Amino acid sequence: MKLADLDIIVTAPPAPGWGGRYWILVKLTTDTGITGWGECYASSVGPEAMGHVIRDVFTRHMEGTNPEDIELMFRRAYSSGFTQRPDLTVMGAFSGLEIACWDILGKDRDRPVHALIGGRMNDRIRAYTYLYPLKQHDLAEFWTSPEQAAEAAADCVARGFTAVKFDPAGPYTMRGGHMPAMSDISMSVAFCKAIRGAVGDRADLLFGTHGQFTTGGAIRLGQALEPYSPLWFEEPIPPDNVTEMAHVAQSVRIPVATGERLTTKAEFAAVLQAGAATILQPALGRAGGIWEMKKVAALAEVYNAQMAPHLYAGPVEWAANIQLAASIPNILMCETIETPYHDALIKGTIRVENGFITPPETPGLGIEVDEDLARAHPFTGDGLHLQMQDAPCDYVNANAFQGGAPATEG
């Protein structure tokens, strides 16, 4: 069995657009006619350029190779061009293709992917979700309203979720780390207070940031949140400085989580070695794929750290996250996004039920992709999947930042 053909679909989730501006799906076909699906997570170039990268990685390192040879293909891509170091764009391309290889292998052997990478360790996986506006909420006001966030959190708990994530801490900008405005600290405290009041001890609070602070700024913010006992403080400073992130971790009584912008065991190992985080959040469509993150999970065990796969993408990456989570002992939880489009794109083959996910026993990733639906929603914009803000933090008028892919009206 050899990898023979590649197809790429760039699909755009309909309004409000939870999961980013577009998702890059890849479909591999073998010379024996078996197809496998993968997803390449957000890249630093546009989808057209990324399509060329994906095709180059496939034809250069994977085409004509047995899909079993994951390690061989990874080493080819990782070493490409005399690099042998993490490359965000190349790894983003390879990761989606690697996921598709596992889907093929599972289908060929009539087994779920987790059965091929160590077996079923977990029958149920704890899910968490971002807080999203309810029908009665205003899309613009929601992100600066502790009261509306508390209502959304109570709704999540009523549906069975035991952990909710939110990010009221101001803009993430291309300027790097900044000192938070006092108004952003006050807003963050107000969100934690309101949400904790709404959910009590029925759910954990996951405080999301996106690397937007200086070391001192992250410590100020984190210490202000400590009375509400968040389960984690996510990526408090830019992810490229693990020494300073470790300083934050040592100064704040909230576990630090990081990983959505990291790739391969080389970068995750540095985080663990520095003591920068005890919760790792790989995005499997970027970080190197399923097999590479299985290795990272083993490294994390040595440091008594846990895994919480990240998701701000489509349901194919989610399916890969679930297969990994089913097979490892140190899973904490998996991020999920519940929209009609996410569900329809995989024909309801995996769902959250009462706050938990049951890993599928069906072959491969355990999903059925609606290819026609994906093609019926092509991406026609010119933005990246997620984008940084150019303007600096506003210390006068306060900040009302809706994230790197703001909601769109239906």
Rounded-to-integer distance, Cα 322 and Cα 263, Å = 18
**Torsions phi, psi for 39 (to 5 deg):** -140, 130
Predicted confidence band of residue 402 (pLDDT cuts 50, 70, 90) = confident
> Does 382 map to a domain?
no
Total number of domains constituting the chain: 1
Rounded-to-integer distance, Cα 150 and Cα 103, Å = 39
> Does 32 map to a domain?
no
pLDDT in tens, 194-217: 999 999 999 999 999 999 999 999
pLDDT in tens, 95-133: 999 999 999 999 999 999 999 999 999 999 999 999 999
pLDDT in tens, 312-369: 999 999 999 999 999 999 999 999 999 999 999 999 999 999 999 999 999 999 999 9
pLDDT in tens, 28-77: 999 999 999 999 997 899 999 999 999 999 999 999 999 999 999 999 99
Q: 10 Å Cβ neighbour count for 65? A: 17
> Does 57 map to a domain?
no
> Does 52 map to a domain?
no
pTM: 0.97
Domain CATH for 160: 3.20.20.120
> Does 98 map to a domain?
no
Decide: helix, strand or coil at residue 80: coil
Residue 86 contacts residue 287 (beta carbons within 8 Å)? no
> Does 409 have pLDDT greater than 80?
no
CA atoms within 13 A on the CB side of 152: 25
Q: What is the mean pLDDT of residues 253-276?
A: 98
pLDDT recorded at residue 381: 92
| Angle, vertex CA 314, rays to CA 311 and CA 315, nearest 5 | 90
Residue 384 contacts residue 24 (beta carbons within 8 Å)? no
pLDDT recorded at residue 207: 98
Query: Residue 203: which domain range?
Result: 116-365
pLDDT recorded at residue 361: 98
Rounded-to-integer distance, Cα 368 and Cα 362, Å = 10
pLDDT in tens, 277-322: 999 999 999 999 999 999 999 999 999 999 999 999 999 999 999 9
> Does 301 map to a domain?
yes
pLDDT in tens, 221-233: 999 999 999 999 9
Predicted confidence band of residue 410 (pLDDT cuts 50, 70, 90) = low
> Does 328 map to a domain?
yes
Beta pairing partners, 208: 234
Rounded to the nearest integer, the mean pLDDT of the chain is: 96
> Does 398 map to a domain?
no
